[in-house]
Amino acid sequence: MKFIGSLALCACVALGVDCGGGGMDNGGDGGGGGGGGPIAASVVVSNTTNGPFSLAMSTSFQPADWDYLFFALNPGATTTLGNLGSHHVRLQGIVHGVPQGSEGTSSEAWDFTTLDAIAQPVLSVGDQSPEFQIAKAPAFLYQDNNSGNAFLDPSFAEFAGYTQNLVRYYNTGGFMDGGTSYGSPGLARRSRGGASITSPTSITA
């Protein structure tokens, strides 16, 4: 943080020199100025550590029909992502990245293919604890099976059930629906972490 403070001081000095004063004196030529010569200043940047620097870098992915093959087509990308040392990589599935239902239909079928093509590589690197942001709920939860409309259930009970199954899928070994078992294939290899499920305020009734 000492480095940041030094930069801020340098910025203030630079502004003081370049911008000058307000020119309140009516006896001058109206050009303003600070009334004196340039101010001498120096900044020393050290490469030694004087205390903790609590900063984590991260990135985000939006699994969808047009980009879900990113890791399949770029197998070295997980190494690059791992080198970043990411914390809580954000995932936001849209279109078929929404793992249940299908836009414009009343289907309630589960299919994690698109979402997991991005989610599973992400779960294997960094802190292994991405943040999954729910951009859209399954289409059948909306009026006319259109995710641009209002929810059919104003109590959000059905939506809560959907998010519960997402947590079960990625964090607790899976869930059963219609006699079929669904579970994250990468869960067994992870010793910690899991997905943090969040719902933005853009999902409204």
Q: Say which residues have a Cβ less than 8 Å from residue 161's Cβ, sequence separation at least 6.
A: none
The 8-class DSSP code of residue 58 comes to -
Confidence band, pLDDT 50/70/90 cuts, at residue 151: very high
Residues 49 and 75 both lie in one domain: no
Q: What is the pTM for the complete model shown?
A: 0.67
**Whether residue 79 is found in the same domain as residue 172:** yes
Task: For 124-195, list the strands marked E by DSSP.
Answer: 131-133, 175-177, 180-182
Res 32: pLDDT = 52
The answer to whether residue 191 is domain-embedded is yes
**Judgement on whether residues 44 and 79 belong to the same structural domain of the protein:** no
- What Rg value do the Cα atoms of the chain yield, rounded? 26
3 in any annotated domain: yes
Domain boundary at 55, 78, 96, which?
55
Range picked from 8-22, 24-38, 99-113 for highest mean pLDDT: 99-113
Residue 61 or 2, more confident: 61
Domain that holds residue 114: 60-198
34 and 84 both lie in a single domain = no
More reliable by pLDDT, 143 or 16: 143
Identify whether 205 is part of a domain: no
Beta strands in 12-116 (DSSP E): 60-61, 90-91
Least confident of 1-15, 32-46, 113-127: 1-15
